[in-house]
Amino acid sequence: MGPYPVSMVGLPDETSNMTPPTICLLVLAVAQTAIAMLVRDRVSRWLQRPAPWAAVVRFASMAMTVYLWHLSVLVSAFLALFGLGIDPPVAGSGLWWLTRPFWLLALALVLSVVATLLSPLERGRQAKATKASSQSSGRRDKEPGPPGTAHVILATIGSGMGAALASFGLLGHVASGLLPAPHGSSVLLFVPVDPIQNTVCVLVGFALSTFAARWSRQSA
């Protein structure tokens, strides 16, 4: 009801429930939090069993991979449907609801394969660090001193600025879409945005965050 769309995620050419947050988004957040609180005790007891807990640990080891690639799998699935000449059913229709279980199951299966293949990249740095630590155990190397206060402050500022720029660029893509300016021009938090500007923000933000992380490790 009202001027807001059904989607809780902001989409191009639609009034967004996210900027600014609407009562719809607030109700959704409260509902999800309430459900989590209601099932917390039961889920906690269930996770005391070895098999479910092992599954949770296994998924947690690839959680970031799933997060980073789930939209790629979704977009690829839609492109495959369009390539086969199949039009997805209208959202909210009877056919749409009937096909949701099969659609979600197919996406989950493809995503599980992608995450299994790519998750070693997520655990690679940690695994190498653990191996190096185990190999050097028994050797009394001099412990490095703590990094200077100035290094910590600058690294923190760089990481914060990088995260802010990258986040602003990604949200800008949500607001403007991917069409080149002026067709993709839009406004995000009262700031004009376009696809080129958004891409520059993401790249600069990523570069700042990477440089700050490397500098912090070297200074430590």
**pLDDT tens for each residue of 167-186:** 888 877 777 776 666 655 67
| 56-97 residue pLDDT tens | 998 888 888 888 888 888 888 888 888 888 888 887 888 989
Quote the pLDDT of residue 185: 65
**Band of residue 189 on the pLDDT scale cut at 50, 70, 90:** low
**Of residues 122 and 81, more confidently modeled:** 81
Q: Is there a single domain that holds both residue 28 and residue 78? A: no
Same structural domain, 157 and 219: yes
Question: 124: pLDDT confidence band, cut at 50, 70 and 90?
Answer: low
**Is residue 167 one of the residues assigned to a domain?**
yes
Average pLDDT for 37-51: 94
In a domain, 87, yes or no: yes
- Is residue 135 one of the residues assigned to a domain? no
Looking at residue 147, its pLDDT comes to: 52
Whole-structure pTM value? 0.50
The token duo for 146 is 């703590």
Last residue of one domain, picked from the residues 36, 61, 86: 61
Residue 114 is assigned to a structural domain of this protein: yes
Q: Is residue 203 part of a domain?
A: yes
Whether 208 shows a pLDDT value over 70: the answer reads: yes
- Does residue 132 carry a pLDDT above 70? no
Q: Is residue 51 assigned to a domain?
A: yes
Check pLDDT > 70 for residue 54.
Answer: yes
Q: CA-to-CA distance for 61 and 30, rounded, in angstroms?
A: 28
Residue 118 and residue 105 share a domain: yes
Tokens standing for 26? 């607030």
152 and 217 co-located in one domain: yes
- From 17, 36, 61, give the residue that closes a domain: 61
Tell me, what's the pLDDT at 153?
Answer: 77
Structure tokens at 144: 């490095």
CA dist., res. 213 & res. 78, Å (int): 36
Distance in angstroms (rounded) separating the CA atoms of residues 70 and 73: 5
Neighbour-count burial of 181, counting CB atoms closer than 10 A to its CB (0-12 exposed, 13-18 middle, 19+ buried): middle
151 and 96 in a single domain? The answer is: no
In a domain, 127, yes or no: no
Residue 109: give the domain boundaries. 62-122
What's the total number of domains in the chain? 3
148 and 219 belong to one structural domain: yes
| 35 shares its domain with 6 | yes
Residue 128, pLDDT score: 56
Whether residues 155 and 215 fall in one domain: yes
Are 173 and 214 in the same domain? yes
Q: Is the same domain home to 161 and 220?
A: yes
- If asked whether residues 107 and 176 sit together in one domain, one would say no
